[in-house]
Amino acid sequence: MNEKDNILFTCKDHGKDTYKLIKNTEHNYDNMAYVWFKDKVDGDEKMWVKITSGDVFKGTGRLRNRPVKLNMKFNDKVKFETNEEGITYGYK
């Protein structure tokens, strides 16, 4: 973990486990969703999204993190949806 920047790096084999641990804290934050952004080129990134429409399972919101790898920026508008496995995937 990079504590200075509050960044946690995980290997491909354990990314889902780490995601679920953090995802399980959503109830501690009002109108926030923990969202997984997939990217085959630059690698995946998981970030907090402030919900502006919808709910924690499906909606739109604004990024509350500064992406490290993805071509996105803080406060970008994104869409997200939770699948049957409980993983919330996002896209711009």
* Angle in degrees, CA 52, 70, 21, rounded to 5: 65
For the segment 21-73, what is each residue's pLDDT rounded down to a tens digit? 999 999 999 999 999 999 988 889 999 999 999 999 999 999 999 998 899 99
- Report the chain's C-alpha Rg in angstroms: 12
The answer on pLDDT for 5 being more than 70 is no
**Domain map (residue ranges) of the chain:** 15-91
